Amino acid sequence: MPYVEANRVTIAYESFGPVDGEVILLIAGLGTQMLRWSSEFCDRLMAQGFRVIRFDNRDAGLSTHLRDHPAPDFAALSAAAASGRPFAVPYTLEDMASDTLGLLDALGIEQAHLVGRSMGGMIAQIVASAYPHRTLSLAAIMSATGNPELPKAAPEVMAMLMRPAPAPSEDLEGYLGHNLAFARRIAGPGYPFDEMAQRALIMSELARSYDPAGTGRQIAAIAATGDLRPRLSQITAPTLAVHGADDSLVPTAAGADIAASISGARLMIIDGMGHDLPAPLYNRVVRAIAENARSAGQASNAPPRRSPAMDPSETWV
């Protein structure tokens, strides 16, 4: 596994495809590792002619974990946020965006197509707004702007997210059951839930790293960063928001808010998709990312060209 030092942390990453190809940088979501961008998904992007790089965010996978900082007190954090009072956190999404840019710097990559899922989409928006000259295109999948006025996650989904899982060293089956139940709950109803694949993914991530406090620190980073909308007018790259019509964790209105906040952005809503990216959707999502990326080479700011075949379960805005 290759590593780089960037922004005072160590970042684990993997690269696929031609070293001279345009780079698609895949940014992972809350509490997840680079493995969520499956090798099959990376291969399909690579087949479009891109160099594909995936990496572990800080406090996830094989990258640096800030274990000197305990998990945040979420009750205190929520109370402070509700009252508008500042609260101390180990880092914010701005720091994670600096990690992302630092990875590109360490690899000698001047410009990249940014693709982020969930929290990773928020990090990608920050990079694209702060460094428009480094951003070729932007795709935010099942992500948000942090707009506090938008609908929230379903209450039982949020309760499942915040409920601690059994420690795997003490109750491995309980740990697996907890994580499988959450994955099943946020999955979309339009595609079969592949329990064996999910179980294998959970075990693969566990073998690489186990740090629930790290996920807590990432949640705190999201809360401390707040509303991204004031900075999104700085984004000049072609932008695509992809969202599931049945996302119970980050409702579809969040994807629509991204598209409404960034000039020229397009919104792709997929019926039956939840807060996940099942294998049957790989081709459609890869196609949309590739078309958005290629539009960066167009002379005008015209919307990305789309293939003639329109799937009836897709809505484009």
Domain ranges of the chain: 3-316
Average pLDDT over every residue of 117-131? 98
Q: What is the pLDDT of residue 172?
A: 98
Of 256, 260, 286, which is closest to residue 268 (Cα–Cα)?
A: 256
Q: How many C-beta atoms surround the C-beta of residue 306 within 10 A?
A: 16
Whole-angstrom distance, CA of residue 127 vs CA of residue 96:
9
Is the predicted pLDDT of residue 313 greater than 80, yes or no? no
Higher pLDDT pick, 307 / 17:
17
Would you place residue 298 in the very low, low, confident or very high pLDDT band (cuts 50, 70, 90)?
Answer: low
Q: What is the pLDDT of residue 310?
A: 55
pTM of the model: 0.93
Q: What is the pLDDT of residue 309?
A: 45
Whole-angstrom distance, CA of residue 99 vs CA of residue 104:
9
Residues 198-257: tens digit of each pLDDT: 999 999 999 999 999 999 999 999 999 999 999 999 999 999 999 999 999 999 999 999
Would you place residue 307 in the very low, low, confident or very high pLDDT band (cuts 50, 70, 90)?
Answer: very low
Q: What is the pLDDT of residue 183?
A: 98
Whole-angstrom distance, CA of residue 57 vs CA of residue 36:
12
CATH number attached to the domain at 3-316: 3.40.50.1820
Residue at 256: amino acid letter: A
Average pLDDT over every residue of 34-61? 97
- Count Cβ atoms within 10 A of the Cβ of residue 214 and give its class: 0-12 exposed, 13-18 middle, 19 or more buried: buried
**Which long-range contacts (C-beta less than 8 Å, at least 24 apart) are formed by 128-135?**
128/235, 128/237, 128/239, 129/228, 129/231, 129/232, 129/233, 129/234, 129/235, 130/97, 130/231, 130/234, 131/101, 132/234, 132/235, 132/236, 132/237, 134/101, 134/104, 134/110, 135/111, 135/235, 135/236, 135/237
DSSP state of 287: H
